[in-house]
Homo-oligomer: A and B are copies of this chain.
Amino acid sequence: MSAAPGALEALIDALRRLPGVGQKSAQRMAYHLLQHDRPAARQLAQALGHAEQAVRHCARCHTFTEAEVCATCLDPARDARQLLVVETPADQAALERSGSYRGLYFVLMGRLSPLDGIGVHDIGLAPLLQRAQDGVVDELILATSFTAEGEATAQAIAQALRPQGLSVTRLARGVPVGSELEFVDLGTLAHALADRR
């Protein structure tokens, strides 16, 4: 069929491997790139090739970086006694934007998800254990998501690290800033009441 030559079909197949992109979106993307924005196609091909070659994990905190150790881990102005554990670089970026944290990070690059076959050994628990016992870190702040999987991950980390004499804390649960109480879910309200200060 003329509407689906080899190169176009291959492009649609490759776009479908992106998360959240189905057949129709992939078709629309391929059509847009080839008909209206070929420079974007070239730019994306180059960016993919370069990132795939250049981006690796920081040897200390596991986040994405192009160097052996990332700039945050190398920053002498940051408080090396605090280590904050997040699931992804996007979570780390959100915390950085809040401007309220000056310690260091450890990025799990995942979370426990037994249903998807992701167990304790598949997330970087051994490297985190090693990292947390450098003799400088004295507080581990667990900032995994407040979902069932994120809570299970935090639980597993706390169990592994409390025996090492580290103070292990968790981000506060409570009512989001700007919320009207009426519309806050009951579990959050219960936590906000229990953790009142």
A interface, CB within 8 angstroms of B: 1-8, 10-11, 13-15, 17-20, 24-25, 27-35, 37-38, 40-55, 58, 61, 63-67, 70-73, 88-90, 92-93, 96, 107, 109-110
In angstroms, Cα B85 to Cα A57, docked, is: 52
Tell which of A30, A44, A71, A110 has the most Cβ of chain B within 10 Å.
A44
In angstroms, Cα B46 to Cα A113, docked, is: 32
In angstroms, Cα B5 to Cα A5, docked, is: 37
In angstroms, Cα B18 to Cα A13, docked, is: 15
Can you give 30 A-B contacts (C-beta < 8 A)?
A: A1-B71, A1-B93, A2-B63, A2-B71, A2-B72, A3-B92, A5-B54, A5-B66, A5-B67, A6-B66, A7-B47, A8-B64, A10-B51, A11-B50, A14-B43, A14-B48, A17-B44, A19-B32, A20-B25, A27-B90, A31-B88, A31-B90, A33-B51, A34-B51, A41-B51, A42-B48, A45-B46, A45-B49, A45-B52, A48-B48
Q: Chain B contacts of A2 at CB under 8 A?
A: 58, 61, 63, 65, 70-73
